[in-house]
Amino acid sequence: MSENPTAPQPSEGQRRRDRGEPMFPGGPVADPAGSHHERRIRSFRPRRGRVTPGQGDALRRLWPAWGLDIDGLRPLDLGELFGDPELPVVLEIGFGMGEATAQMAGADPGTGILAADVHTPGQGNLLALAERNELSNIRVANGDAIILLREMLAPDSLAGLRVYFPDPWPKKRHHKRRLIQPEFVALAATRLRPGALLHCATDWEPYAEQMLEVLTASPDFENTQSDGGYAPRPDFRPLTKFEGQGLDKGHRVHDLIFRRKG
């Protein structure tokens, strides 16, 4: 039987997503890890979202030079990626729309930021911000950061790891999806060089308590706070609009800064 010619037809973007092709020519693909990782527990919700013309233009033009897909199929040479083998590189997992990432990159041009997320509009926005502000020390990664850490980054290759406001997965049955778990922390330790900082921030108090418990129990990290508690927000982490709105509502934001031993 032939298809109903009056039935709604999928858009070209939807057809690309269904085929796992880039949404934009040369841009990020829908699921770069492919089927060999389909059974993994995701600590994030894949989000494509509505891409503005400006974000789409940035993705089309800048992704081939400043973007990469996390496919787990090849090792990543950070020196080659940033064009400087001596540049220390910090991994940021989850950057939203990228405003804070761009601020941190501009304030510290001597550090490369590898920013990983799955939010297409945010990827395009961060690329546009990097171009507008002439930030050559930003690279954008699309996909699952756990695959990036486990299968694409070399041991002791990172100068730092930032996890700001990750999905809190508030329902108890979803707590296993939270990113900061003992297994993740142990993996992160193998990719961070000795002395590197693991910096987390959250406005979800039960998650903050779990983070503190997990990080304190890790044999690979030590708390930078002598009292073993939370850290004041450091100057290098910008106060985002989202965070400011939460503070206005009485939310408490907790920073946790732990140092890799060794």
Q: Say what the pLDDT of residue 249 is.
A: 86
Residue bearing tokens 């708390």: 223
Mean pLDDT of the chain: 88
Please give the tally of structural domains in the chain: 1
User: Rounded CA gap, 138 and 140, in Å?
Assistant: 7
**pLDDT beyond 50 at 11:** no
Whether the CB-CB separation of 180 and 229 falls below 8 Å is answered with: no
User: In the structure, what pLDDT confidence band is assigned to residue 4 with cuts at 50, 70 and 90?
Assistant: low
When mean pLDDT is compared across 21-25, 26-30, 116-120, the lowest value belongs to 21-25
Q: Say what the pLDDT of residue 27 is.
A: 85
Q: At CA 79, angle to CA 47 and CA 73, rounded to 5?
A: 50
- The answer to whether residue 5 is domain-embedded is no
User: In the structure, what pLDDT confidence band is assigned to residue 49 with cuts at 50, 70 and 90?
Assistant: low
Average pLDDT value for residue range 220-236: 97
Q: Say what the pLDDT of residue 10 is.
A: 45
Q: Percentage of the chain with pLDDT > 90?
A: 74
- The answer to whether residue 3 is domain-embedded is no
- The answer to whether residue 134 is domain-embedded is yes
Q: Say what the pLDDT of residue 28 is.
A: 87
Which two three-digit tokens encode residue 145?
């950061």
- The answer to whether residue 2 is domain-embedded is no
Average pLDDT value for residue range 98-104: 97
Q: Say what the pLDDT of residue 69 is.
A: 96
Binding residue positions: 92, 117, 144, 167, 171, 203, 240-243
Which two three-digit tokens encode residue 77?
């040479």
- The answer to whether residue 90 is domain-embedded is yes
Q: Which residues contact 119 (CB under 8 A, 6 or more apart)?
A: 47, 48, 49, 96, 97
22 or 50: whose pLDDT is higher? 50
Binding residue positions for S-adenosyl-L-methionine: 92, 117, 144, 167
User: Rounded CA gap, 28 and 47, in Å?
Assistant: 12
Q: Say what the pLDDT of residue 184 is.
A: 97
| 3-state secondary structure (DSSP) of residue 114 | strand
User: In the structure, what pLDDT confidence band is assigned to residue 21 with cuts at 50, 70 and 90?
Assistant: low
Q: Which residues contact 213 (CB under 8 A, 6 or more apart)?
A: none
Binding residue positions for substrate: 171, 203, 240-243
**pLDDT beyond 70 at 60:** yes
Q: Is 167 an annotated catalytic residue?
A: yes
- The answer to whether residue 157 is domain-embedded is yes
Q: Percentage of the chain with pLDDT > 70?
A: 85
- The answer to whether residue 256 is domain-embedded is yes
Q: Check 167, 220, 248, 255 and give the catalytic one.
A: 167
Average pLDDT value for residue range 34-39: 51
- The answer to whether residue 6 is domain-embedded is no
Average pLDDT value for residue range 62-85: 96
**pLDDT beyond 50 at 143:** yes
For residue 59, give the CATH number of its domain: 3.40.50.150
Which two three-digit tokens encode residue 16?
């690309």
Domain that holds residue 36: 12-260
**pLDDT beyond 90 at 34:** no
User: Rounded CA gap, 222 and 148, in Å?
Assistant: 24
Q: Say what the pLDDT of residue 35 is.
A: 47
User: Rounded CA gap, 37 and 72, in Å?
Assistant: 9
Q: Say what the pLDDT of residue 243 is.
A: 84
